């Protein structure tokens, strides 16, 4: 199979992939009538919902490569017909995470993949086998949504106005660029008649969405924790985590400390962070264990309501909020009021 074609089907969100589809003369009608592409597109979206990552398909010939390439714009159509903000973000993030894994795999064959992706994503990087130099303007754009302190410009090495990164850090920023690319234009303005013609596929995806949300809503803490009794601020942070949004450090600390004090284990709290775009298991474990008192010996409690307001994490106040000064007090009072 031609190397360039293989590259396009594995990274179908690139501008060069879109240009190829246009130059091939394929119309929207051709796309809609391609049964294999429709099935694979539905699989892409369902995989995004179930696992949060669209994995690499096994490509054996050019026909299969073309189907894989066409399934990407079709998946965007399916997502756009449903017009669910959570689905849009989760799908885009799943495509980006899948691409990250493919890049890391392709690096075993050399760093050429980094050159290709940097050019096709309009990233001005100087790439060598050991490190990458990135103009600080590109760096600031690609780290805009990354909350970890290690990404702050003041914590990076600068070489003649360029940020020095190791290869794995650069691949992480490529994931951000890919996420931006996939999100661009979503949801599309798809004609109603096309969405109606895809109703069977759309209904299957909607069923997966319902199942996903049911699993989230049914989550229960092990020692009597009841999420429907959590205060609005904590519910909002948890929903943002579930939707794959990056949340600030203050919100992460607040929700982690709250959940640990509500009875969740370290492992259960770590699981809640897996949808985060910048999830790093070892770093997340260290931070959660530190807040839990496993490291250092000091167990932290959640911030007070006043502190939550100071950091902009107090949202959606209800009547009960007016009677308490701490999120854990809200939780305990809500549980007490529910008892017969």
Question: Please, which residues bridge with residue 135 across strands?
Answer: 162
Burial category of 191 from C-beta neighbours within 10 Å (exposed 0-12, middle 13-18, buried 19 and up):
exposed
DSSP 189: -
- Is the same domain home to 136 and 177? yes
324 and 261 fall within a common domain? yes
Clarify whether residues 177 and 265 are in a common domain.
no
For residues 55-73, give the mean pLDDT: 85
Residue 64 lies in a domain: yes
Residue 210 lies in a domain: no
**Contact by Cβ (8 Å): 284, 291:** no
Q: What is the pLDDT of residue 164?
A: 95
CA–CA dist 178, 182 (Å, integer): 6
Calculate mean pLDDT across residues 163-169. Answer: 94
Residue 213 lies in a domain: no
Query: Does residue 172 contact residue 139 with C-beta atoms inside 8 Å?
Result: no
Residue 290 CA to residue 287 CA, distance in Å, equals: 5
Burial class (CB in 10 A: 0-12, 13-18, 19+), 114: buried
- Output the domain CATH number for residue 299: 1.10.579
* Sequence-distant (≥ 6) Cβ neighbours of residue 187 within 8 angstroms: 79, 80, 82, 83, 88
Answer yes or no: do 170 and 315 share one domain.
no
Has residue 3 got a pLDDT over 90?
no
Q: How far apart are CA 247 and CA 142, in angstroms?
A: 16
> Do 276 and 172 fall into the same domain?
no
Fill in the DSSP letter of residue 152: S
Whether 177 and 248 share a structural domain: no
The pTM score is 0.74
| Predicted pLDDT of residue 13 | 93
- The CATH number given to whatever domain includes residue 100 is 1.20.930
> With left for phi above 0 and alpha for psi between -120 and 50, is residue 172 left, alpha or beta?
alpha
In a shared domain, residues 319 and 223? yes
Q: What is the pLDDT of residue 135?
A: 95
- φ and ψ at 276, to 5 degrees? -65, 135
Give, for 206, the enclosing helix (H) or strand (E).
helix 199-217
The confidence score (pLDDT) of residue 114 equals 95
Mind listing the pLDDT tens digit for each residue in 301-326? 999 999 999 999 998 888 899 899 99
Q: State the Cα–Cα distance between residues 124 and 119, nearest whole angstrom.
A: 7
Predicted confidence band of residue 31 (pLDDT cuts 50, 70, 90): low
Number of domains making up the chain: 2
Least confident of 18-27, 63-72, 225-234, 301-310: 18-27
At 237 the pLDDT is 92
Per-residue pLDDT, 30: 66
Q: Is residue 206 part of a domain?
A: no
269 and 148 both lie in a single domain? no
Same domain, 240 and 118: no
70, pLDDT greater than 80: yes
For residue 163, the surrounding DSSP H or E stretch is strand 162-165
Please check whether residues 23 and 130 belong to one and the same domain.
yes
- At residue 83, the pLDDT reads 92
* Tokens matching residue 265: 């284990």
pLDDT tens readout for residues 214-252: 765 544 443 445 788 899 999 999 888 877 777 888 999
pLDDT surpassing 90 at residue 329:
yes
Q: Is residue 91 part of a domain?
A: yes
**Residue 135: helix, strand or coil by DSSP?**
strand
CB 83 within 8 A of CB 129: no
Q: What is the DSSP string of 53-95?
A: --PPPP--SHHHHHHHHHHHHHHHHHHHHHT-HHHHHHHHHHH
Phi, psi (deg, nearest 5) at residue 159: -125, 105
Q: Does 205 fall in a domain? A: no
Q: Can you give the residue range of the structural domain that contains 323?
A: 219-338
Grade residue 1 by pLDDT with cuts at 50, 70 and 90: very low
Task: Give me the pLDDT at residue 223, please.
Answer: 42
Are 168 and 257 in the same domain?
no
- 190 and 271 share one domain: no
d(CA 27, CA 30): 5
Which domain-ending residue is among 200, 229, 246?
200
> For the chain, first and last CA: distance in Å?
68
Considering only CA atoms, which of 51, 69, 93 is closest in space to residue 7?
Answer: 69
């Amino acid at each position: 199979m031609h190397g360039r074609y293989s590259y396009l089907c594995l990274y179908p969100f690139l501008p060069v992939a879109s240009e190829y589809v246009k130059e091939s003369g394929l119309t929207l009608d051709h796309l809609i009538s391609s049964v294999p592409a429709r099935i694979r597109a539905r699989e892409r979206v369902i995989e995004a919902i179930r696992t949060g990552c669209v994995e690499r398909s096994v490509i054996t010939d050019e026909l299969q490569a073309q189907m894989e390439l066409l399934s990407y714009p079709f998946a965007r159509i399916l997502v756009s017909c449903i017009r669910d903000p959570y689905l849009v973000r989760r799908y885009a993030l799943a495509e980006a995470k899948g691409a990250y894994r493919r890049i890391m795999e392709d690096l075993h064959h050399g760093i050429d993949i980094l050159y290709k992706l940097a050019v096709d994503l309009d990233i001005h990087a100087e790439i060598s086998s050991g490190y990458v130099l990135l103009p600080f303007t590109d760096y600031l754009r690609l780290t805009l949504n990354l909350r970890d302190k290690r990404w702050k410009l003041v914590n990076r090495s600068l070489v003649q106005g360029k940020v020095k990164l190791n290869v794995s850090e650069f691949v992480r920023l490529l994931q951000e660029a890919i996420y931006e690319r996939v999100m661009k234009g979503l949801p599309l303005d798809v004609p109603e008649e096309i969405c109606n013609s895809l109703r069977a596929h759309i209904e299957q995806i909607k069923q997966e969405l319902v199942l996903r949300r049911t699993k989230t809503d049914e989550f229960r803490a092990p020692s009597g924790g009841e999420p429907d009794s959590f205060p609005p601020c904590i519910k909002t942070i948890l929903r943002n985590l579930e939707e794959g949004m990056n949340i600030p450090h203050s919100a992460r600390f607040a929700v982690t400390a709250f959940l640990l004090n509500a009875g969740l284990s370290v492992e259960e709290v770590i699981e809640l962070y897996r949808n985060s775009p910048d999830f790093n298991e070892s770093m997340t474990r260290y931070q959660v264990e530190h807040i839990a008192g496993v490291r250092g010996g000091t167990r932290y409690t959640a911030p007070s309501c006043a502190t939550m307001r100071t950091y902009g994490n107090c949202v959606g106040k209800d009547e009960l909020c007016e009677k308490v000064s701490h999120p854990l007090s809200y939780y305990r009072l809500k549980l007490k009021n529910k008892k017969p």
